[in-house]
């Protein structure tokens, strides 16, 4: 995986700082490759993969780290996600690496098929909007499962988004075709109650998750947005719940609504998880009521 030149120094410096802060270089398992472990997390406690590639729910980022590894090993995950809406088709795929349950590095490619909307906008039927998302997340403290039930797992993260259709984003009024989001997440699974709660505060100026660029004529500054998730564990292998995510409304030409879903995540095995959801993304460009099916398959090791 190569990082684009446009990423620049800010995210590179953040990654270096994250590695240093996580203490990876001093971890005995890192020093002696023979001691590295794989697996060890309880089923479903690494979350699933969001459409942006980070570990969490389908729409929201959580503070959990990708992979099935504990603090003595390295893990990884890969995902494919499909969202079928009345007037659009959304596809996301990518990979994540988890280092000692402390640091997560992720990549996702997002594609939005505009179907007949593309023709109406003069782009051509079935025109695809494309975006690369590179992410880094650092767990600062706490534990999502164990320890003090009043102390959640807390993580900070950044996502560099590179829209690959700059002429289109400029046409709709976006001021940038690439940008960086910053967020902080807190997640806790109350094992005795089988209840999971997660909240994320995100600084962003992304239009439709960045697929329509960043910033616009109504607002060109990052704004604080919220992502909330709640789930109930029906069994060790089945989690049901819902998510709510607020989004900025920067473009006069394309009203943007908040996003919501109701989901079920089923651990097929210790390594494979299937997530199905009903998702409501509201208005996307000239089409209202974009509600439909969300299906995602994750492999984690």
Q: What's the rounded Cα separation, in Å, for the pair 72 and 173?
A: 48
Q: What's the rounded Cα separation, in Å, for the pair 184 and 202?
A: 7
Q: Is the predicted pLDDT of residue 274 greater than 90, yes or no?
A: yes
Confidence of residue 254 (pLDDT cuts 50, 70, 90): confident
Beta strands in 85-194 (DSSP E): 89-99, 103-113, 128-141, 153-163, 178-190
Confidence of residue 40 (pLDDT cuts 50, 70, 90): confident
Range of the domain at 287: 5-300
pTM flag (> 0.95): no
Q: Residues 38-51: what's their mean pLDDT?
A: 86
Provide the CATH number for the domain around residue 55.
2.40.160.40
Residue 234 is predicted with a pLDDT of 96
The number of angstroms, rounded, from the C-alpha of 122 to the middle of its chain's C-alpha atoms is 31
Q: Is the predicted pLDDT of residue 55 greater than 80, yes or no?
A: yes
Q: Give the tens place of pLDDT for each residue, 202-246.
A: 999 999 999 999 999 999 999 999 999 999 999 999 999 999 999
Residue 122 is predicted with a pLDDT of 87
User: What mean pLDDT is reported for the chain?
Assistant: 90
Q: Residues 12-21: what's their mean pLDDT?
A: 52
Rg of the Cα atoms in the chain: 19
Q: How many CB atoms lie within 10 A of CB 35?
A: 12
Residue 15's alpha-carbon distances to 10, 145, 163, in angstroms, are: 9, 26, 21
Q: Total domain count for the chain?
A: 1
For residue 42, the 8-state DSSP code is P
Q: Is the predicted pLDDT of residue 250 greater than 80, yes or no?
A: yes
Residue 220's alpha-carbon distances to 6, 160, 166, 176, 204, in angstroms, are: 20, 17, 16, 9, 10
Least confident of 1-10, 81-90, 93-102: 1-10
CA-nearest of 224, 229, 285, 225 to 258 is: 225
């Amino acid at each position: 995986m190569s990082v684009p030149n446009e990423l620049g120094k800010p995210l590179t410096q953040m990654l270096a700082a994250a590695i240093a802060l996580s203490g990876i270089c001093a971890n005995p398992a890192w020093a002696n490759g023979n001691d590295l472990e794989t697996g060890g997390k309880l089923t479903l406690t690494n979350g699933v993969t969001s459409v942006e590639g980070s570990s969490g729910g389908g729409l929201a980022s959580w503070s959990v780290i990708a992979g099935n590894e504990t603090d003595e090993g390295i893990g990884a995950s890969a995902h494919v996600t499909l969202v079928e809406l009345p007037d659009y088709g959304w596809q996301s795929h990518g990979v994540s690496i988890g280092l000692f349950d402390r640091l997560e590095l992720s990549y996702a490619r997002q594609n939005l098929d505009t179907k007949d909307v593309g023709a109406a906008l003069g782009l051509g039927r079935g025109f695809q909007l494309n975006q690369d998302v590179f992410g880094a997340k650092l767990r600062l403290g706490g534990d999502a499962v164990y320890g003090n039930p009043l102390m959640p797992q807390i993580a900070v993260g950044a996502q560099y988004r590179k829209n690959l259709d700059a002429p289109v984003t400029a046409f709709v009024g976006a001021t940038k075709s690439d940008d960086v989001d910053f967020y902080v997440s807190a997640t806790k699974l109350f094992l005795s109650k089988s209840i999971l709660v997660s909240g994320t505060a995100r600084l962003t100026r992304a239009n439709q998750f960045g697929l329509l660029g960043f910033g616009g004529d109504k607002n060109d500054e990052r704004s604080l947005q919220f992502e909330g998730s709640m789930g109930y564990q029906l069994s060790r292998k089945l989690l049901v719940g819902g998510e709510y995510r607020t989004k900025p409304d920067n473009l006069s030409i394309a009203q943007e609504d908040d996003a919501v879903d109701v989901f079920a995540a089923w651990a097929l095995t210790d390594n494979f998880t299937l997530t199905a959801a009903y998702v409501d993304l509201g208005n996307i460009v000239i089409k209202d009521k974009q509600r439909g099916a969300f299906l995602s398959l994750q492999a984690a090791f």
